[in-house]
Amino acid sequence: MHTGELIDRIEKLSQAGGGAVDQDTFLSAGSFDAALHAAGGACAMVRALLAGEADTGFALLRPPGHHAERDRSMGFCLFNNVAVAAGLALGELGVKRVLILDWDVHHGNGTAEIFRGRSDVLYVSIHRDGFYPGTGPLTDAGSGAGLGYTINLPVDAGTEGEVWRSLLEHIALPAAGRFAPELVLISAGFDAHRDDPLGGCALQSEDFAQMACQVRALAERCNAPVGAVLEGGYEPHALAECVLATMRALAGAGRAESIAPDPIYTRRAAAHVGHFWEL
């Protein structure tokens, strides 16, 4: 999933005591080992899920990963943990189709670019429009053999959980059901929470729990294990609350509750995604 040059560059910078990768991303002497363990933790979770040791899992990792591109670390991310884990499942563990659902408030540009031209990964991102890193417009559906296998669902600043849940239920999950994944991975960022100092959206922990219930129901219908990989979240109490709510929902607490389609966001998204998937 990453070039050897990137891996070597991060290792050498850490060995030299650390330093800046870009204006947002810094390394210490321990960062390379931490990044290896983060990617390895996501892989360990996927191995356990596909070995039948559990139906669900949550990899609590730092540093996060979804901004890291094939040849570039950025946005607090050194290696793309969820992409590495998906690549392992596809390349070595016999899986043919992986769904990656990204509900971090920021678009997962790294994951999108790594799998842009592939049809064995369906990447779906709900994120704040026009926010860092400035990627992920609704019209970007992937390219080449991967055309249609990227679904971007941008929302405006200040949107509440009902909008996110509507896009998930009426756009993302119907397309995912047609895709029929054999493994479901969530890039689980919680910086869309209303108390997060960076995100600028208005979700509550109950919204993340409901989204997790919806994803769990999809995974059950597809007979696929589901695992979450921690991404962003910058208010410690909100982060802890959301992680626990998501873990409980993935483990079976609560049930998926339907929500009406949003008259603006869902209709607009359906007009684009409907060219590639029956919704």
Active site residues: 67
Helix 81-92 / helix 31-50 crossing angle, nearest 10 deg: 40
Half-sphere exposure of 265 (CA within 13 A, CB side): 28
The whole-angstrom separation of Cα 16 and Cα 215 is 43
CB 128 within 8 A of CB 154: yes
Edge-to-edge strands of the sheet including 183-188? 56-59, 226-230, 183-188, 98-102, 121-128, 150-155
- Which stretch of DSSP H or E encloses residue 123? strand 121-128
Q: How would you label 127-139 residue by residue, b for 16+ Cβ within 10 Å and e otherwise?
A: bbbebbeebbebe
